[in-house]
Amino acid sequence: MRFETLFFDLDDTLYSSTSGIWEAIGDRMVQYMVTKLEIPEATAPVERERLFHTHGTTMRGLVAEYHIEQVDFLEYVHDISIEQFLSPNFALRNMLESYPQRKVIFTNADTGHAIRVLESLGIKDLFEKIIDIRSITPWCKPQPEAFAKALEIAGIKNPKNCVMIDDALRNLVTAHDMGLFTIHVGEQEVIQPVDAAILSIEELPKVLSQIN
């Protein structure tokens, strides 16, 4: 087989972007900024967007500019009931089980949140490893250093033997530049330089069947 390892992003990739999870986490981020940092409620959403685009993630921006504690932030923003948004996805499980390649989660979230998502979907046991935001500190996707660290953690010697499946174009651009085959989730048309596009994770076989 050409590809030996499948890297999966977590949020809005393994489940639909319409689930409401990201919106709930985003609300918690704004609440954190208001309650913990006393940023005015009227300006906190705009400040959150600025930090995200400037630093790659809101958390990295808050660490750099507001000197927050990462653990405190991650625990606060991920304190949501995942079960309200997700349930076991047996079709997804069957699809993932059909591929013998190593499966690794590579996310800018933390491991605790990743585990809750994977357990709610009923697929946690299918993934060999979770590479989270703490694993790649001080970097984050889409930084090349974050990808280099993730490849090191996963023991990858040749990135060309790997696939990166993600909903964020900026992450996929970096992955492509580093030699991974890239699949954009949530898009109908391919956006250069990404290699392939699917509307949902359930369509993954349409691409993998053509490249393996």
Same domain as 126, residue 44: no
Q: How confident is the model at residue 51 (pLDDT cuts 50, 70, 90)?
A: very high
pLDDT-above-90 percentage for the chain: 97
Q: Residue 211: its pLDDT value, please?
A: 81
Contacts of 42 (CB under 8 A, 6+ apart): none
2: nearest Cα among 199, 191, 210, 194:
210
76 has a pLDDT exceeding 60: yes
Same domain as 103, residue 174: yes
Neighbouring C-beta atoms of residue 37, cutoff 10 Å:
13
Average pLDDT over residues 126-138: 96
Q: Residue 160: its pLDDT value, please?
A: 96
Q: Which domain holds residue 30?
A: 21-77
Same domain as 150, residue 135: yes
Q: Distance between CA atoms of 140 and 171, rounded to whole angstroms?
A: 10
Q: Residue 1: its pLDDT value, please?
A: 52
Q: How confident is the model at residue 31 (pLDDT cuts 50, 70, 90)?
A: very high
Residue 62 lies in a domain: yes
Q: Residue 158: its pLDDT value, please?
A: 96
* pTM (2 d.p.): 0.93
